[in-house]
Amino acid sequence: MAQPVAAAERAVEELLQHDRTILELRHEIRRARMRRFILVSTYSSAPMLLFLLFVGNIATWGRIDLSRINIAGIPILITLLILCPVVRFRSCGDVFDGSVLNEWKAGYAVEKKIDLELAIERKRLSAASIDLPTETRRHIYRETVPGAIEQYRTGGLRYRRVHNAFQSVIIIGSLATSTAASLAETPAPFKWITVGTSFAVGLAAGFTGYFKFRERSFYLQQTADSIEEEYDAVKLKVGRYKGSVDDAAALLEFTERIETLKNDQRKRQQQLDQPTETPEG
């Protein structure tokens, strides 16, 4: 009896090692993408500032004096130029073997993504070759449920923040547009402000209606709450699991219930991904 238990423990440790490799690769991909984003943003900010100042001066030449804005832009431009080598040094200056320097390359994240796919495939092959009891697999599955709950809640929070940001743009932009348009004699700069705020409001309303951020956040949060309710119920033996004396049967019902909730969420996600049909005129 001790030998099968030891074999099962080794199999679990092997799967955990695969999970560790996968998590490390995902962390490297996120870090490489973030560093690449910082690098591109830093090096493109100075040319973008020069371009905006140039366009602004050409568009308002002889009508609006932008000398104060130009003078204020000089220290900002110098700061951005100094920031470029500082950012590069802060990220790569403490490494001499070039390993971190490679993370700045455009293809580094792609290479790590390929390694991630291979690591996931290795885990699948390893899991397929391991003959664990069905009940043990269900116990392992139950312990992965908190991670799924956190994933759904994180996604719901992200969509809710995006929705709130767009709604703020719509509310503030609508009030600003109405206020600027109600002026009897609107100066030329305020006309451009009215145009800009109207465009921002339309853009935010279009993105909100097309991508349905509010609905995505609601369904993800609803699924997370339902899964958490099932997880607490099976652990505390309440609800549908109240009075259950067969732990294996309760675990089977719990696994089926969680899979049903996940499938329902996937179906709702697919419905939200479908483009909105416009009525024929």
* Domain tally, the chain: 2
The helix, strand and coil proportions of the chain, stated in percent and rounded to the nearest 5, come to 85, 0, 15
Q: Give yes or no: residues 104 and 150 share one domain.
A: no
Last residue of a domain, one of 132, 154, 180: 132
How crowded is residue 183: how many other Cβ atoms within 10 Å of its Cβ?
11
Confidence check: pLDDT of 73 > 50: yes
Q: Give yes or no: residues 137 and 126 share one domain.
A: no
Q: Give yes or no: residues 160 and 248 share one domain.
A: yes
Residues 39, 87 contacting (CB under 8 angstroms) = yes
Identity of the residue numbered 146: P
Residue 95, classed as helix, strand or coil, is coil
Last residue of a domain, one of 132, 152, 174: 132
Residues 91, 104 contacting (CB under 8 angstroms) = yes
Query: Which pLDDT tens digit goes with each residue over 84-117?
Result: 777 766 655 444 444 445 555 657 778 888 888 8
The structure's pTM equals 0.66
Q: In this structure, what token pair is assigned to residue 69?
A: 């804005």
Please give the Cα distance from 179 to 182 (Å, whole number): 5
Q: Name the band, by pLDDT with cuts 50, 70 and 90, for residue 232.
A: very high
Query: Which pLDDT tens digit goes with each residue over 124-153?
Result: 788 777 777 777 778 778 888 988 999 999
Residues 26, 116 contacting (CB under 8 angstroms) = yes
Q: Give yes or no: residues 114 and 144 share one domain.
A: no
63: phi then psi, degrees, rounded to nearest 5: -115, -45
Quick one: pLDDT at residue 96? 41
Write out the residue range of the structural domain in which residue 102 sits.
1-132
Q: Name the band, by pLDDT with cuts 50, 70 and 90, for residue 281.
A: very low
